[in-house]
Structure 1
Amino acid sequence: MSVFSRSSLKMIDTVARLGSFTAAADVLHKVPSAISYSVRQMEQDLDVVLFRRLPRKVELTPAGEVFLTEARLMLRQMEEVKSQTRRAAHGWQKTLKLTLDNVVRLEPMQAMIEAFYSRFEHAELQLNMEVYNGSWEAISQGRADIVIGATAAIPVGGDFEVKQMGILEWAFVMAPNHPCAREQVLTEDLISRFPAICLDDTSSVLPKRHNVHYPQQRRLLLPNWHSAIECFKQGLGVGYMPRHIAQPLIEANLLVEKLLPEANPRSHCCLVWRKDENHKMIEWMVDYLGSSEQLYNDWLRS
């Protein structure tokens, strides 16, 4: 038996976890003498003592603890190699990389994830979130196979397909105790006195875009809507929020919506995916996400 075979490493792991040759023998369906002999052979090959033999149990020596740590790492790597080989045999890529733009609803994620793992036995789904041009950068740099909710015009060229998702509506909101909430008519001068709560574009190469705000208004840049909502509720600024995120907060009287003289901004959103005829998971996911109407209802509708 090789010292570094899967069965040898698994045997050492079992003995270490149970602290007994006899208990390990029961789990591994062997007799205790065979386990004891195999461990002794491994110790001779390594020229170290892995276990201290005590009257009723065995304990790892310092050398044994080091060996066990590395043995468990090798076992995990062996399992990963086996999984990757099975994925390749079934014609699937290892991972589908899916990016959600921070403006989309999150409620459809559960059903989507469950459907994916039910369909693909040996594949994995990697989910990431980006903001504004960060979504386009992810697809252009190969960090995403599919982007849900990419906004505005296409700022990059690339070998990808685009499907319209519809128009995202925005609401201009603030905390109920914010000074702007007490005013009947909001002017640019008044609003510009307070920070505009904006999500920070996650792009590092493409030009950054941010929420609509007045030219003289300072921004409070935040990484996601979760942190932005907390800042809105604490009265730290004012600004635009996607309607589907803002509406429940408005109805719960946690935020107040105000109408400005100019029309609220509207964002065209789209589904983007990388062209790859050999990547069957991309094709499956695009089909699963459905038509433009379904995309709007699932991911953008208030």
Structure 2
Amino acid sequence: MFSYNDLKVIDVVARLGSFSGAAKEIHKVPSAISYTVRLMEERLSVNLFVRLHREVKLTTAGIYFVEQARDLLKQMDNIRLQTQRVANGWTKNVSIALDNVVRESRVSKMVGDFYRAFPDVELHLSMEVFNGVWDALADGRVDIAIGATTAIPVGGSFARRDMGSLAWKFVVSKNHALANIEHKLSVDQLIEYPAICLEDTSRTLPKRVTWLMDNQRRIMVPNWYSALQCLRDALGICLVPSHIAIPFIQSGELVEKQLQQPPQLSPCCLAWNTETISPAMQWILDYLGDGQQLHQEWLC
């Protein structure tokens, strides 16, 4: 019903209070301004302005219309801006999946630095376990995954960057029956106690378990916080990422024990969807750095 220019004319006339003043600012002749206002009043079947000798004043209906017109102008300006941003690779948000093994203390600094660099882009974070990271990538729920296993279980347009290997420690509560045994623990000794296992968050990919012996009972938990609670209460046994276990070993709450079959290192990687690259996403990939930086900041 009204063009952007029509609304702009009404806005300027209302602000300056005269056709001649509006004509000067918009670089048109006063008669063109007067004609636009009269045409809009005819379309609305109301008078927007009271014409005085050298000025115009808004009617009650005019005051309402100008308020609405200014809101519309802001919306139209915003649509134009956002459309240009999309054309230049701008995205509304970037989604990141964090594997439950990574160092969570690093997250807040990354978020703060990102929001300073991109004040108009949202960062969406989720926590996944094992194959849940790749499941989120394959399903398009996230753009980037930090701490994914290097064995890629899905096909698609994904790239990765090595993060080095995650080390594990076998720990038990200081009050657990295994805490005072000095020799390396055998499978027969371990199988007597429930294994504390994190539930794989994968929705479609096969679920994985990092450490479990044949016919051993399980305690399934959602995250390492719950696993540590069970460990400290001597409810079960499990392998824990070294960087998570060390503070509890140092405090004496948990005791590290040696196994006859030592745990293997777990190679990890940074992975991302190459089809959703945007300036904000590229900034994150550059910010996270090379493999050495990733290992030091997220797995140690």
Match of 2:107 in 1: 109
Q: Deviations over 1:157-214 (max 9, x none)?
A: 1101110000000000110010111222322122111110111100121111112121
After TM superposition, the structure 1 = structure 2 runs for residues 279-290 of structure 1, keeping only pairs within 5 Å, are 279-290=278-289
Alignment of 1:180 onto 2:178: yes
Give 3-state SS (helix, strand or coil) of 1:167's partner: strand
Across the aligned residues of Structure 1 and Structure 2, the Cα RMSD in angstroms comes to 2.5
Match of 1:143 in 2: 141
The counterpart of 1:120, out of the listed 118, 123, 140, is 118
After TM superposition, the structure 1 = structure 2 runs for residues 130-209 of structure 1, keeping only pairs within 5 Å, are 130-185=128-183, 186-209=185-208
- When residues 88 and 170 of structure 1 are mapped into structure 2, their CA distance, relative to the original with a 3 A threshold, is farther
After TM superposition, the structure 1 = structure 2 runs for residues 1-302 of structure 1, keeping only pairs within 5 Å, are 86-90=81-85, 91=88, 92-185=90-183, 186-276=185-275, 279-301=278-300
8 Å contact from structure 1 (residues 173, 239) kept in 2: yes
In structure 1, distance between residues paired with 2:79 and 2:246: 44
Equivalent pairs counted in the alignment come to: 229
In structure 1, distance between residues paired with 2:255 and 2:208: 25
- When residues 133 and 277 of structure 1 are mapped into structure 2, their CA distance, relative to the original with a 3 A threshold, is closer
- When residues 88 and 184 of structure 1 are mapped into structure 2, their CA distance, relative to the original with a 3 A threshold, is farther
In structure 1, distance between residues paired with 2:78 and 2:203: 34
Which TM-score applies when normalising by structure 2? 0.71
- When residues 249 and 121 of structure 1 are mapped into structure 2, their CA distance, relative to the original with a 3 A threshold, is same
Which TM-score applies when normalising by structure 1? 0.71
8 Å contact from structure 2 (residues 143, 276) kept in 1: no
In structure 2, distance between residues paired with 1:287 and 1:220: 39
Which consecutive unaligned segments of at least 5 residues does structure 1 have?
1-36, 42-74
Q: After TM superposition, what 4+ stretches of structure 1 lie above 4 angstroms from structure 2? A: 79-88
In structure 2, distance between residues paired with 1:209 and 1:117: 34
Q: Deviations over 1:15-45 (max 9, x none)?
A: xxxxxxxxxxxxxxxxxxxxxx89xx9xxxx
- When residues 275 and 235 of structure 1 are mapped into structure 2, their CA distance, relative to the original with a 3 A threshold, is same
In structure 1, distance between residues paired with 2:193 and 2:75: 52
Shift of residue 108, structure 1, vs aligned partner: 1.3
Give 3-state SS (helix, strand or coil) of 2:104's partner: coil
Which consecutive unaligned segments of at least 5 residues does structure 2 have?
1-59, 65-70
| 1:266 partner letter | L
Shift of residue 88, structure 1, vs aligned partner: 4.3
| 2:108 partner letter | Q
Give 3-state SS (helix, strand or coil) of 1:179's partner: coil
8 Å contact from structure 1 (residues 200, 222) kept in 2: yes
Q: Identity rate of aligned residues, in percent?
A: 42
8 Å contact from structure 1 (residues 87, 94) kept in 2: no
